[in-house]
Amino acid sequence: MALQAIEENRKGAEVYHGAALCAEKATELLAETNMPLADIEEVGYNRSTGFVWLARRRRSRTTSSRSGGWSRTPPR
């Protein structure tokens, strides 16, 4: 379900790849929100919907939106 939400929010989103850039962008988002930060490989933020996702090295994803709380999807 989280993967589907991520794919739906990719259009119009800011998506970053690479350890250094993801760390930088995640740090910027941490300044705006209270997100967990560990082993991140991808960061995405759709400013128009407020949807944010972080893809972690162990392939679990942590997502949040302005209207909801945090959601974690375990690896498949």
Q: Is the pTM of this model over 0.85?
A: no
pLDDT of residue 40: 76
Print the domain residue range for 36: 2-73
pLDDT of residue 13: 87
- Per-residue pLDDT of 45-74, as tens digits, reads 888 888 878 777 765 566 666 655 555 555
pLDDT of residue 16: 93
Measured between alpha carbons, how far is 76 from 67 in angstroms, rounded to an integer?
26
**Total of domains in the chain:** 1
pLDDT of residue 11: 84
* Residue among 58, 63, 6, 8 at smallest CA distance from 33: 63
- Per-residue pLDDT of 11-29, as tens digits, reads 888 899 999 998 898 788 7
